[in-house]
Amino acid sequence: MDRRMTSRERVLAAFNHVEPDHVPLWLGASPAFREIARRQLGLADDEALSRLVGDDFRRVLAVYAGPEEYAPYANLPPGITFRSPFGILRHGYEGGQPVSHPLIGATTVAEVEAYPWPDPAWMDVSQIRAEAEQYGGQYAILGGDWSPFWHDAIDLLGMENLMFKMFDVPALVDAVLEHLVDYYAGVSQRIFDEAADLIDIFFIGNDFGSTNGPLIGEAQFRRFVLPHLKRLIDLGHSYGLRVLLHCCGGFAPLIPAMIEAGLDGLQALQPSCRDMEPASLKRRFGGDLLLMGCIDTRLLIDGTPEAARAETRRILDLMMPGGGYVACPSHDYVLAETPVENVLALYETAQEYGFYAG
């Protein structure tokens, strides 16, 4: 290359399956990990951490401004760590697990309709534009609501019950998913109306895989989930944005349907899960999707800096050729138990080793 690309140019080149000057990098990390890293490294703020690791992305988020009884972190009952917009109380590490399933006893669509669904207007988008403008067009901006509608359906109905109701009362499942996606699409539309011209990527997240394969069969995925996923994809595309899906687990059998729905990229790509070998993903889907991840978070948690460096080089060798790859750990969040020195080893190696010839 005649000059170094900006981070934004680098990422968009990768989405276009053109080899940029350098493989793009992204650090998704939990607030707890970021706090540990800042303290250990003597950094002033999150921006300093992002610059240190060479993160090519920045993220803008709406802020909750609705009724106090639905606030995610305020006025929580004892032992509760998070409240979802749908009133689900959760307990435990990094967001935790639901303590109840409010619609588990529902048997009719009328009961679903009567549930107190949230209002997209509860999310304040007024600061989004200024937040994006501060980066001066240098970085690829991730925006839109995370939209974990599959997770929320599980939280509301219970996983086993949700699976049974797909066969026993499919209209009930349809109604739940429609209400969930109505909310998320409404929030994201408000964000995009405010600042879509400053946002590059609609970043959403739903985990459809387990270690051993998809959590839902392809037929049921196409019947119940794909129309709602496509609705979000179409929303992003209507504003000229790329749509990137975070998805954990071994969900490879579902990827062709995601491509048919118009998805632009997949993030996480856990190599320890069934049928998620990086070289295979690159061969089968690298021409259709931006692939982002593949550097095993289990190794980052349990391994050494030397192992992290070796694995980063191995994955870059597999995934970089031809473009269409962003280097990052195989999860949307680096969690607090991950040694900071292992994470630094990943990004230092990628910064040194990730140049394209040109």
Contacts of 185 (CB under 8 A, 6+ apart): 147, 231, 232, 235
In a domain, residue 209? The reply is yes
Number of CB atoms found within 10 A of residue 70's CB: 18
Mean pLDDT of 263-290: 98
Distances (CA, A) of 337 to 192, 211, 291: 35, 20, 25
Residue 2 falls within a domain, yes or no? no
Within a domain: 89:
no
| Residue scoring higher pLDDT (358 or 26) | 26
Nearest residue to 194 (alpha-carbon basis) of 154, 149, 145: 145
Predicted confidence (pLDDT) per residue in 4-46, tens digit: 999 999 999 999 999 999 999 999 999 999 999 999 999 999 9
The DSSP call for residue 338 is: S
Find where tokens 């209002």 sit. Answer: 119
End-to-end CA distance of the chain: 5
Angle, alpha carbons 225-61-208 (nearest 5°)? 25
Q: What pLDDT is recorded for position 140?
A: 98
Q: How confident is the model at residue 94 (pLDDT cuts 50, 70, 90)?
A: confident
Q: Rounded mean pLDDT of the chain?
A: 96
Task: Say whether pLDDT at 341 is over 60.
Answer: yes
Query: Tokens at residue 176, please?
Result: 């739940």
Enclosing domain of residue 215: 7-64+102-353
- What total number of domains does the chain contain? 1
Dihedral, 65, 68, 69, 75 alpha carbons, nearest 10:
120
Residue 86 lies in a domain: no
> With bands split at pLDDT 50, 70 and 90, how would you rate the model's confidence at 2?
low
Non-local CB neighbours of 136 within 8 Å, separated by 6+ positions: none
User: Is residue 53 in a domain?
Assistant: yes
Count the Cβ atoms, other than its own, within 10 Å of residue 270: 22
Q: What is the mean pLDDT of residues 255-272?
A: 97
Query: What mean pLDDT do residues 297-301 have?
Result: 96
Q: Where are the beta strands (DSSP E) in 107-216?
A: 123-124, 140-143, 201-205, 209-210, 213-214
What is the rounded average pLDDT of the residues 252-281?
98
Q: How confident is the model at residue 3 (pLDDT cuts 50, 70, 90)?
A: confident
Mean pLDDT of the region 135-144 = 98
CATH of the domain at 22: 3.20.20.210
E strand or H helix at 319: helix 305-319
Q: 325-329 and 89-91: which strand pairing?
A: unpaired
**pLDDT above 80 for 95:** no
Query: How many whole angstroms separate alpha carbon 234 and alpha carbon 160?
Result: 30
304-321 pLDDT, tens digit per residue, is 999 999 999 999 999 999
Residue 144 lies in a domain: yes
Express as a percent the part of the chain with pLDDT over 70.
Answer: 99
Using one digit for the tens of pLDDT, what is the confidence trace for 179-193? 999 999 999 999 999
Q: Spell 80-94 as b/e; 16+ CB within 10 A means b.
A: ebbbbbbbbbbbeee
Q: What ranges in 225-277 are assigned the alpha helix state H?
A: 226-238, 255-260
**What is the CB neighbour count within 10 angstroms for residue 334?**
25
Say if residues 312 and 325 touch (Cβ distance below 8 Å): no
Q: What mean pLDDT is predicted for residues 275-281? A: 98
Mean pLDDT of 254-258: 98
Checking if the pLDDT of 203 tops 60, the result is yes
Average pLDDT over residues 193-210: 98
Q: What pLDDT score does 187 carry?
A: 98
Residue 326 lies in a domain: yes
The mean pLDDT value for 60-89 works out to: 93
List the structure tokens of 52: 């240190």
Identify which of 71, 9, 59 has the alpha carbon closest to the alpha carbon of residue 29: 59
Tokens matching residue 143: 């925006």
CA-based R_g, the chain, Å? 20
The answer to whether residue 188 is domain-embedded is: yes
Query: In which band, very low, low, confident or very high, does the pLDDT at 1 lie, cut at 50, 70 and 90?
Result: very low
